[in-house]
Structure 1
Amino acid sequence: MTVPSVPSTEAWRPRARKVVVLASLVALGTVLLAAAIVWTWRHELPDPVASHWSAAGEPDGFMSLEAFALSSVLLVAGCVALFGAIGWSWGTSASTRRTVGAATVWSGAFGATLLLAGTASQRGLDDATQATSPGGALALALVLPLVPAVLAALVVPGDPREPATTPVADDAARVPLAEGERAVWIRRADGVPGLAVGALAIALTAVLAVVLQLWAMLVVPALLAVVLAAMFAFTVRVDASGLTVRSALGWPSTRVPADEIVRADVTRVRPLRDFGGWGWRVGQGGRTGVVLRAGEALEVERTGGRVLVVTVDDAATAAGLLNTVAERTR
């Protein structure tokens, strides 16, 4: 009998590099196109142009058009380099590659929109001190790039099926089940620290927008509220099919099929040190983390060198049941 080969843990690298290269080209191309358009407006713009506004909406920073355009391009280039390094080194899972692709494309569209909107409002002015507050431009720059970012995430292919071909390790914990017996484990995972910080940020940005009468900026706390609902309340389910982690909004979500589980264990998570913060995160080595708090977490190693970590109570039972259902698929 021929035994199937174990999928290479390096098979993800070509897929990750393709996403990084294509997303980087789109992001840099977008902001360079915006810079070229702005350059055609140079005879209609004041010299220097307003590049920064105070909290009261008054221009308080100025620079040449060339410097303003270059700073936008360099900002995007820095974001592209950061996200590219994450995807290039840690893009083991499709969720990470989709996040990297979306974030990279968003940064390019953000820089381009901010550059275009910030200068378009100054066309025809003789003095940049007359430039109006960019609150609407900033709101547009935050929202409009979400469209290409979502499209970028959607076109990134998912991970190919990679069933495990080796047995679950003998030292991995199990939940004993009789032959034919089934079990389901479900827990709610919430992030009090992240919810508290997010709620404070929502309140502060809403108050600031009202006090300064920058009504367009109310889109910021609205977006923060959606992110908060999507990132800090999850349902974690273990059954015969494997592991499912789903946000309260239904997205983001991920599923680990039972036949792709190498082993499951309990681990301890320090959000800042291990994942750089809270929410849906990418940690060292490319681990994907649903990090809602510090402490006990479920760690699932799957084929292809992928690892998923979820902070949830009673992780020991979840790990034992996952090892049992994974063993049954062998």
Structure 2
Amino acid sequence: MKSVLRSTRPSTGPLRVRIAILPFVVVIMALGALYAGLAGRLPDPLATHFDGGRADGFSSAHGYLAGCLAVLLVLGVGSGLLVQLRVHTPEVPWLIATSYATAAGLGYVMCLMLLANVDVTDASAVRQPQWQMAVSLGVALLAGALGRLLAGAAPPPPRRARGATPRLDLPAGTTAGWSRTISSPPLVVLGVVLLGAGLLVGIFAGWLSSAGLLFGGAAVLPLASVRVTVDRHGLSLSPAFLPYRCRFRRIPLDRIAEAGSRRIACFAEFGGWGYRIRAGGSGLVLRSGEGIVVRLANGKEFVVTVDDAATAVALLNTYTDRARARQGG
């Protein structure tokens, strides 16, 4: 028989999902209205890519509109799904802020392209000042601040039950699993900003110039949210946005002496966020707060900051006791 231990909280998902999707809906409507109003004054093809402010890439007017709407639609649906999946986690307000920044930044650039082509007979003569990149980033930041304000306070972390025991009383032959996700809003924002900046640089200066930014965003985002799992095999960590089997750290039961939980101060103890190594141990600290502390058989410690750590510790100690009993230890 198997059971799964998870914290349950009342659902407030629909409202936050609608808030996350709203900026993309607004930008889609604004872009469509702008195109409808300017359609008779636009050349075909349009200038849609610039190098040093000079047009060097072109697209049909209908193709440009369809491509922009498709990008906005995919990003909007993706933002809504991401918020729905993370609706009870502390990073949700930052995900919503990122949605607003992304929609506004891209929407500004897309509308700017149309305006730059108005009443032009030869699209190759269109010019786009490079300072517009700075303006688009400013628009994105302001929209992100609005999104963070509309998102409201982050959901509170689950409260630890008083008198929680360090072990779970599981009947013989019963297995259980515990899994929670811990995310770093600054890393999520950094990853999205890198991707957004890469898109803007790619549009204005060429995709080769933006390769570093795009690669940095793609590398940061999978590690900005990590799934922590305790099961009969031990403790494992894997990127939340990748399949479960893509683990980057696994501690089997035979390497665990005992597990405990305590409050962890990431800067005071580890000097910052991320995967940290220090004398006597290591850990994944994406924020300060409640965390699992595993004392390894070699005397070192491994820590990971995560909500509901007490439940994870109790289950991990139970499995460790069972493993020792099987080995006759």
What is the TM-score of this pair, normalised by structure 2? 0.51
Asked if 1:132 corresponds to 2:127, the answer is yes
SS of the residue corresponding to residue 293 of structure 1 reads: strand
Aligned to 2:111: 116
| Equivalent pair of 2:97/2:151 in contact (CA under 8 Å) | no
Q: Which moved more, 1:267-276 or 1:35-44?
A: 267-276
Q: How does 1:1-330 map to 2 (within 5 A)?
A: 9-12=8-11, 15-54=12-51, 57-64=54-61, 66-93=62-89, 95-133=90-128, 135-158=130-153, 159-160=155-156, 163-171=159-167, 269=237, 292-293=274-275, 296-297=283-284, 315-316=302-303
- AA partner of residue 297 (structure 1): L
Q: CA deviation at 1:169?
A: 3.1
Aligned positions, number: 221
SS of the residue corresponding to residue 91 of structure 2 reads: helix
Change (3 A) 1:170 1:314: closer
| Equivalent pair of 2:24/2:76 in contact (CA under 8 Å) | yes
Q: CA deviation at 1:100?
A: 2.4
The 2-side partners of 1:70 and 1:76 are apart by: 10
- AA partner of residue 23 (structure 1): A
Q: CA deviation at 1:34?
A: 2.8
Change (3 A) 1:57 1:148: same
| Equivalent pair of 1:23/1:104 in contact (CA under 8 Å) | yes
Change (3 A) 1:83 1:167: farther
The 2-side partners of 1:18 and 1:67 are apart by: 34
Q: CA deviation at 1:112?
A: 1.8
What is the TM-score of this pair, normalised by structure 1? 0.51
| Equivalent pair of 1:31/1:111 in contact (CA under 8 Å) | no
- The unaligned stretches of length 5 or more in structure 1 are 1-6, 173-193, 233-265, 277-289, 324-330
Q: CA deviation at 1:135?
A: 3.4
- AA partner of residue 152 (structure 1): G
The 2-side partners of 1:21 and 1:79 are apart by: 14
Change (3 A) 1:72 1:46: same
The 2-side partners of 1:84 and 1:62 are apart by: 30
The 1-side partners of 2:158 and 2:103 are apart by: 34
- The unaligned stretches of length 5 or more in structure 2 are 1-5, 169-186, 225-233, 247-271, 277-281, 294-299, 311-329
Task: Give deviations 1:126-147, integer Å, cap 9, x for gaps.
Answer: 1111111463344433331221
Q: CA deviation at 1:75?
A: 0.8
Task: Give deviations 1:170-198, integer Å, cap 9, x for gaps.
Answer: 239xxxxxxxxxxxxxxxxxxxxx9xx99
| Equivalent pair of 1:46/1:126 in contact (CA under 8 Å) | yes
Task: Give deviations 1:111-162, integer Å, cap 9, x for gaps.
Answer: 3201221122222211111111463344433331221211211232322575
The 2-side partners of 1:308 and 1:138 are apart by: 41
- AA partner of residue 132 (structure 1): R
Q: CA deviation at 1:296?
A: 3.0
SS of the residue corresponding to residue 32 of structure 1 reads: helix
Aligned to 1:191: none
The 1-side partners of 2:96 and 2:140 are apart by: 13
Change (3 A) 1:123 1:318: closer
- AA partner of residue 9 (structure 1): T
- AA partner of residue 169 (structure 1): T
